[in-house]
Amino acid sequence: MSSSTHAQGSWRIYRRLNRTAVVALFLFLVSMTVGDVLGNILGIDSMKSMLAVVFLALAYFALAAIRLFRWPCPRCGRPFLENQAPWALSCGSCNLGLYEDI
């Protein structure tokens, strides 16, 4: 596999992890409403259903964020977002730009 193909595959994984984290954050933000509606539909205490749904959404977001922050840079292999904000445009170690070939 050439380095260009490897980099494209790595960036594809990064984009998927990034989208998953954004969707998980959105789900976390709307989870209280979903929990309340679910509680009303099922006829159980709304607070308990909200807490359950919020907990599940928070766990999903935490796992997605951890996977995104631990994703290895295609060039140096260290976490791409190491010591950086999630919207960083280059590797924290080797300065590889976002979506650049190796």
Question: Which one has a higher pLDDT value, 70 or 4?
Answer: 70
Q: pTM of the full predicted structure?
A: 0.81
Give the model confidence (pLDDT) of 8-36 as tens digits. 889 999 999 999 999 999 998 898 888 88
For residues 58-79, give the mean pLDDT: 94
Please give the backbone phi and psi of residue 81, each rounded to the nearest 5 degrees, phi first. -95, 20
Exposure on the CB side of residue 44, measured as CA atoms within 13 A: 10
Domain ranges of the chain: 1-102
Does the pLDDT of residue 3 top 80, yes or no?
no
52 near 74, Cβ under 8 Å? no
